[in-house]
Structure formats: structure tokens, C-alpha cells
Amino acid sequence: MADEVGVMYLGRLVELAPRRQLFTQPRHPYTRMLLDAIPDLHATGRARTPVQGEVPNPLSPPPGCTFHPRCPHATARCRVEAPAWHAQPDGGAVACHAVEEGRLG
Ligand code: SF4
């Protein structure tokens, strides 16, 4: 139904990608966690991992990357500096220091 899919966290777009790219090779840690949390409707035996942590108060969001309290890839930089929006070669874009630094495969 859609050519591109956007993923938002706490009211901000964190990833935008062509549909197939987003579902087969998600970049942002939140996108990855959302896909891991999808129930296994086809009973393949794939383990489902609920998204960990609590949603912060959007009226008082965490500093830096607002996803850092829940992100397994967060570093000191993530706690103080909001990630910039970076265009990707496939036409998508993502806002994540770990992706920018090449720390995520
Ligand atoms: S910027 Fe840091 S905290 Fe935010 S999603 Fe990327 S790795 Fe996680």
C-alpha cells in the first residue's frame, strides 16, 4: 500500500525508507525493536521480543537522542547530542549516531 514507510518516536521521524528496505534491513534501533516485537502470526517459532523500557514524557523529553534511555546502542554522545537526519544511498534517511558511526550492521 505504501512505497515508503516512516517510523516516529516521541513525535519525531527517526527513519524513513523504501518499504522493502525498512522491513528487511531496518537501520534505526527503534525500528529494529518494533519489528522484533511483531507477533509470530505464522507460527514459525521466531522469538518475539517486546520493546523494552518506558515511553518518556513527551512534555519533558530526555536530552540528546530521546530514545537513549531505551536504546541498547546508546553511548555518552547519545545522551547529550540529538542525532542529525542523514540521507541514505537507497533514498531513505535515518537519525542515529550508531548508524552514522557505522556501529550497526
Ligand atoms: S542516536 Fe544513540 S540512543 Fe539514539 S537510537 Fe541511535 S544509538 Fe540509540
- The total domain count for the chain is 1
Structural domain including 38 reads 4-100
Cβ neighbour number for residue 27 with a 10 Å cutoff: 24
- Which of 94, 96, 98 has the alpha carbon at shortest distance from 65? 96
Q: Checking DSSP bridges between strand 93-94 and strand 4-9, what pairing results, if any?
A: unpaired
Listed in order, strand segments (DSSP E) in 29-103 are 86-87, 93-94
**Structural domain contains residue 95:** yes
DSSP assigned state of 53: S
Q: Could you read off the pLDDT of 17-58 as tens digits, one per residue? A: 999 999 999 999 999 999 999 988 888 888 888 888 999 999
Of 76, 54, 51, 53, the closest CA to residue 64 belongs to 76
- The pLDDT of residue 97: 98
Best of 75, 97, 103, 104 for a ligand 1 pocket test (most atoms within 8 Å of beta carbon): 97
Alpha-carbon distance 26 to 38, whole Å? 14
Residue 105 lies in a domain: no
In whole angstroms, what is the distance from residue 43 CA to residue 76 CA? 39
The residues facing 4 across adjacent strands are 18
| pLDDT reading at 105 higher than 80 | no
Please give the number of the atom of ligand 1 that sits closest to the Cα of 73: 7
**What predicted TM-score, i.e. pTM, was given to this entire model?**
0.93
Q: Find the residues whose C-beta lies inside 6 A of ligand 1.
A: 29, 65, 67-68, 71, 73-74, 78, 83, 96-98
